[in-house]
Structure 1
Amino acid sequence: MMIRTLFKPLVRGLAVAALLAAGPAHADGLAQLKQFMDGTRSAKGSFSQQVFSKSGRKPQQATGTFAFSRPGKFRWVYEKPYAQLLVGDGSKLWAFDQELNQVTTKKLGQALGNTPAAILAGDNALDKNFVLKDAGAADGLEWVEATPKADDSSFERIRLGFAGGQLKAMVLHDNFGQTTALQFGQLERNPALDAGLFRFVPPKGADVVGD
């Protein structure tokens, strides 16, 4: 299932851009990444997702909402076509698959070290876990490429697209030839968020697996 496939690296632990010649525009993507990270302590919004397989079959699609509060607290909700919830409470990651009535949990530090969630909900020290490169402009966005430093990451690279200092897109390339493209909408920076968003209690009768 696409949702479980995308976030398997989170539960287990959650074309190369051509670089342009150095110049003012070349640094724009990195500058917007820094602006976003330095100026965003919390956020909420919606997302749409497409997963492209190596075989080239029809992309799988999903939509949902998200919220995060740094460091380490986030809520990622898949609404369609399948219901799944991921919650980072600051110490643990909880992943609830409603269809299977199963909860998987893992220590958050292990899960966030080199995953996409670290970009949104982690601290600002991205250089600890990623090699960051400006990736030029395309599709109306300025792009940054993030390559995980850890050898055991399931992702080869992550691309982040910015416009006006706002995160608009994320593209994840995994080690199995699969590409996941995320588009972010209705992004609100630094809203007041209910602390309850980042707490999770396993539903009665759910199978709980993990730490």
Structure 2
Amino acid sequence: MFRAIALAPIALVAAAPLAAAPAPLDQVSQHLRAVTSMTANFTQTDRTGKALTGTLSLKRPGKVRFQYQPGVPLLIVGDGSRLTMIDYSVKQVSSWPVGGSPLGVLLDPSKDLTRFAKVVPGAPDELLVEARDPKHPEFGVTTLAFQRNAGAPAGLSLQGWITRDAQGNRSSVMLTNQRFNVPVSDGTFRWRDPRPRGRTG
């Protein structure tokens, strides 16, 4: 689902020594550390094929906001410590530690990828990384898709991810119009609690 983009050939000076290319997981780690913020448009598709669109704002460490299209009463916000899903239609709030979410690898660049991630086969210009927490199989498996892009941080551009939960249900997020290291206000990660005053548990 992630379309490869052909890259222009890079001219090499014959007499210059060639630097060794970093290992794929090292390159992903370099990318994650180099990207302090990002904005993008997203399309989220669930296991039934239903698609929702919206905008993504990310600021490391731990902050993310999925703002869905008008008319969708859902909001997902990570405030640096917890990832919270708010359903305004039923006034329900659910949250869990950022590190325990399938997106933990994206939100915390200090993680040692070799402990829970591996490279899997993909298109020539893609780098696919499959991440899972062996201590928490209930989180399922998340496969991150990066496009090789010499103009992006550490030569990679995040294209999206596919998540398969413990029951085998599959959902995907595809990104477009990615912008790296742009100003993102901390106020982006605030949200309105729909629950009656005094009921926050």
| TM-score of the alignment, normalized to the shorter chain, above 0.5 | yes
* 1:83 match: 73
Code of the residue aligned with 2:44 in structure 1: it is: Q
After superposition, the Cα gap between the structure-2 partners of 1:151 and 1:65, relative to the gap in structure 1 and judged at 3 Å, is same
Instruction: Tell me the SS of whatever aligns to 2:187.
Output: helix
Question: 174, 179, 187: which one pairs with 1:183?
Answer: 174
Code of the residue aligned with 1:50 in structure 2: it is: T
Partners of 2:82 and 2:124 in 1: how far apart? 36
Counterpart mapping for 1:185-200 below 5 A: 185-200=176-191
Higher share in strand = 1
Cα deviation, residue 87, structure 1: 1.6
* 2:36 match: 41
* 2:121 match: 136
Partners of 1:84 and 1:207 in 2: how far apart? 22
> Larger radius of gyration, structure 1 or 2?
2
Cα deviation, residue 78, structure 1: 2.1
CA offset digits 1:131-179 (Å, max 9, x no partner): 1111122385221111213235331x21111112001020111111101
Partners of 1:44 and 1:208 in 2: how far apart? 33
Judge conservation of contact 1:85–1:96 (CA < 8 Å) in 2: yes
Code of the residue aligned with 1:162 in structure 2: it is: F
* 2:152 match: none
Higher relative contact order (CA 8 A, sep 6+): 1
Corresponding pairs, count: 175
Code of the residue aligned with 2:143 in structure 1: it is: R
Partners of 1:159 and 1:70 in 2: how far apart? 20
Partners of 1:32 and 1:208 in 2: how far apart? 45
After superposition, the Cα gap between the structure-2 partners of 1:122 and 1:140, relative to the gap in structure 1 and judged at 3 Å, is same
Cα deviation, residue 187, structure 1: 1.0
Instruction: Tell me the SS of whatever aligns to 1:142.
Output: strand
* 2:6 match: none
Instruction: Tell me the SS of whatever aligns to 1:119.
Output: helix
Unaligned runs of 5+ in 2: 1-19, 150-155
Higher share in helix = 1
Q: Give the 4+ runs in structure 1 shifted more than 3 A.
A: 91-94, 203-210
Question: 115, 126, 130: which one pairs with 2:101?
Answer: 115
After superposition, the Cα gap between the structure-2 partners of 1:127 and 1:140, relative to the gap in structure 1 and judged at 3 Å, is closer
Question: 162, 172, 180: which one pairs with 2:146?
Answer: 162
Counterpart mapping for 1:55-66 below 5 A: 58-66=48-56
Instruction: Tell me the SS of whatever aligns to 2:136.
Output: coil
